[in-house]
Amino acid sequence: MKKFSGWSIWIGILVLGGLGGCGGNEGFPGRYRAEIKGAGPPQAAILELNENGQGVWKISGDQLSFKWEVRGEEIRLHTREGGVLIGFREDKTIHLRLPGMPALTFTRLPR
């Protein structure tokens, strides 16, 4: 089974493209957690979405800052390097797909 490093995720985020318009962020702000499964033990990834449209993705001691927005049913994470990661919310989860990786499901953490 293929092992995914934290850098694989960052590269996946950076290769995605396209920017969009603004939408509301109703119900999105908060902390979310996903497990990335690979050859080794699962790694936890934390997604923090702040009220002001700023966010942080944390994995394996690394972190990536981004801006986020909601457009229709989609949530878009915009990196400083210009990449865009597009996902969608379903109840208390956010589903994100990175190139070359299985889809990640982030579950909202209690406050």
Nearest in space to 98 (alpha carbons), one of 13, 24, 5, 1 = 13
- 24 pLDDT band, cuts 50/70/90, is low
User: What pLDDT was estimated at residue 3?
Assistant: 53
- The pTM is what? 0.72
User: What pLDDT was estimated at residue 1?
Assistant: 46
User: What pLDDT was estimated at residue 20?
Assistant: 35
**Model confidence over 64-103: pLDDT tens digits?**
899 999 988 899 999 888 888 889 988 889 999 876 777 8
**The CATH number, out of the four listed (1.25.40.10, 1.10.3720.10, 3.40.50.970, 2.40.128.500), of the domain defined by the range 6-108:** 2.40.128.500
Domain limits, the chain:
6-108
What percent of the chain shows pLDDT beyond 70? 75
